[in-house]
């Protein structure tokens, strides 16, 4: 009975939001890769099964990043047909001449970036059948790919990778410390909390931010006071990441501080605070998010729509529907996703 009710609900949702579903479906066939990526992301947020045909077609997209996103959404919807596609991308390589030209090197770097996403995808969906492949790819010449494979292996139960990243937190190279903290946040093993706490005092912004996010994800209450201090940092990116971290942490003791952050001079900091407040059960920041939709800042509108897709209720739908008709297709898809998600709620 419950299953039948769910199906009826899903059909009613599609019927009531036909225009928004049409916008998202059309995005899969757009010539702009960013539009196709936005449609994949929207499909994953709403229901992969509703877009199974479009997602299956996206597995043959010319852009590997689109293929990966589509494969992940399909897998989460119960369709593993995209896993071989991700594996093939992970093992792909760019042939370099004996004396590589700048163009060849640029292509190799770009290929490495895509392979990193493929490796992360296999870890995110916890594809245990890819363990042997991930282990072999830890020998990849691109250190970024090797690290991504180690993180995915850790998510799949290999503890040896975790120890390597903990050691890297003490590196003299700031970028290494930052990447190590980020990796440990992705792995999520609470054993690494003491090592991560040290990095909250790191002089490097990226390392400090990554540590705060990692500790927030692990809900380490002892680090809350230091992360709260970051809310008043002179660097707006530090303030933004601190708000995000406190949202992950979910402690009610952060409510008052986050409410004060809603007065920050930087819009992105306020958006992060509004999202964090919602996670703590307080939607006082929603009005600000809706005001952002009327601004001229495209990036701010995109970010606000991402937050509204998980916070807005049905009564906010009319304000978001206007953007679903926008000529900017990525903006229209994001707005369509937010409308459909909000329509599910009372």
Rounded Cα gap, residues 214 and 211, in angstroms? 5
Report residue 126 as tokens.
Answer: 């916890």
Distance CA 67, CA 69 (A): 6
Residue 13's pLDDT is: 60
How many residues does this entry show for the chain? Answer: 346
292 SS3 class: helix
CA angle 11, 12, 16 (to 5 degrees): 120
Residues 6+ positions from 316 with CB-CB distance below 8 Å: 286, 290, 308, 342
Tokens at 111, concatenated: 């290929």
Rounded-to-integer distance, Cα 253 and Cα 267, Å: 23
Rounded to the nearest angstrom, the gap between the alpha carbon of residue 103 and the centroid of all alpha carbons in its chain is: 30
HSE value, Cβ hemisphere, 13 Å, CA-based, for 204: 18
Contact between 249 and 218 under an 8 Å Cβ cutoff? The reply is no
pTM score, whole prediction: 0.89
- SS3 percent helix, strand, coil of the chain, rounded to 5, is 75, 0, 25
pLDDT of residue 4: 40
> Other C-beta atoms within 10 Å of 313: how many?
14
Q: Taking phi first (over 0 means left), then psi (-120 to 50 degrees means alpha), and beta for anything else, what does residue 219 get?
A: left
Burial profile 242-277: b = 16 or more Cβ within 10 angstroms, e = fewer: bbbbbbbbeeeebbebbeebbebeebbbbbbbbbbb
Closest to 109 in 3D by CA, of 136, 138, 143, 139? 143
End-to-end CA distance of the chain: 22
User: What is the pLDDT at residue 10?
Assistant: 56
Contact partners, residue 116, CB within 8 Å, separation at least 6:
144, 145, 148
DSSP letter at 232 equals: T
Q: Can you give the pLDDT at residue 346?
A: 61
What domains are there in the chain, each with its CATH number?
A: 1-49+285-346 (no CATH), 190-284 (1.25.10.10)
Report the pLDDT value the prediction gives residue 9, as an integer from 0 to 100: 55
Q: What is the dihedral of CA 201, 206, 207, 208, to 10 degrees?
A: 30
Q: Collapsing DSSP states into helix, strand and coil, what is residue 32?
A: coil
From first to last of its 346 residues, the chain has per-residue pLDDT tens of 343 433 335 556 666 789 999 999 999 999 999 999 999 999 999 988 899 999 999 999 999 999 999 999 999 999 999 999 999 999 998 888 888 898 988 999 999 999 999 999 999 999 999 999 999 999 999 999 999 999 999 999 887 888 889 999 999 999 999 999 999 999 999 999 999 999 999 999 999 999 999 999 999 999 999 999 999 999 999 999 999 999 999 999 999 999 999 999 999 999 999 999 999 999 999 999 999 999 999 999 999 999 999 999 888 899 899 999 999 999 999 999 999 999 887 6
Query: What distance in Å separates the CA atoms of residue 339 and residue 304, rounded to the nearest whole number?
Result: 13
Residue 290 CA to residue 271 CA, distance in Å, equals 10
Helix (H, G, I), strand (E, B) or coil at 323: helix
Alpha carbons 2 and 13: distance in angstroms, whole number: 16
CB 180 within 8 A of CB 202: no
The DSSP annotation for 95-142 comes to: ---SS--HHHHHHHHHHHHHHHHHHHHHHHTT-GGGHHHHHHHTT-SS
* Predicted pLDDT at 160: 80
């Amino acid at each position: 009975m419950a299953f039948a009710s769910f199906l009826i609900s899903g059909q009613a949702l599609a019927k009531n939001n036909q225009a928004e579903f049409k916008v998202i479906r059309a995005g899969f066939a757009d010539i702009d890769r960013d539009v196709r990526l936005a449609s994949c992301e929207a499909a994953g947020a709403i229901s992969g099964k509703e877009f199974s045909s479009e997602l299956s077609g996206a597995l043959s997209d010319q852009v590997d990043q689109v293929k990966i996103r589509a494969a992940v959404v399909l897998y989460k919807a119960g369709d593993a047909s995209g896993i071989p596609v991700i594996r093939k991308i992970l093992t792909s390589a760019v042939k370099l001449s004996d004396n590589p030209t700048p163009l060849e090197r640029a292509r190799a770097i770009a290929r490495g970036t895509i392979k990193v996403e493929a490796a992360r995808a296999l870890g995110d969906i916890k594809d245990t059948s890819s363990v042997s492949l991930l282990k072999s790819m830890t020998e990849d010449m691109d250190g970024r790919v090797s690290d991504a494979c180690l993180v995915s292996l850790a998510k799949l139960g290999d503890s040896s990778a975790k120890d390597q990243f903990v050691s890297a937190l003490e590196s003299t190279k700031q970028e290494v410390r930052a990447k190590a903290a980020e990796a440990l946040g992705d792995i999520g093993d609470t054993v690494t909390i003491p090592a991560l706490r040290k990095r909250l005092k790191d002089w490097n912004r990226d390392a400090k931010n990554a540590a705060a996010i990692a500790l927030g994800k692990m809900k380490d209450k002892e680090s809350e006071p230091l992360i709260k201090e970051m809310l008043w940092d002179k660097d707006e990116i530090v303030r933004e990441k601190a708000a995000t971290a406190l949202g992950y942490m979910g402690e009610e003791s952060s409510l008052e501080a986050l409410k004060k952050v809603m007065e920050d001079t930087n819009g992105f900091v306020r958006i992060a605070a509004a999202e964090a407040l919602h996670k703590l059960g307080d939607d006082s920041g929603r009005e600000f998010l809706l005001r952002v939709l009327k601004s001229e800042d495209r990036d701010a509108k995109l970010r606000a729509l991402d937050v509204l897709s998980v916070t807005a209720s049905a009564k906010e739908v009319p304000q978001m529907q206007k953007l679903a008709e926008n000529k900017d297709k990525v903006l229209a898809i994001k707005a369509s996703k937010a409308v459909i998600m909000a329509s599910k709620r009372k």
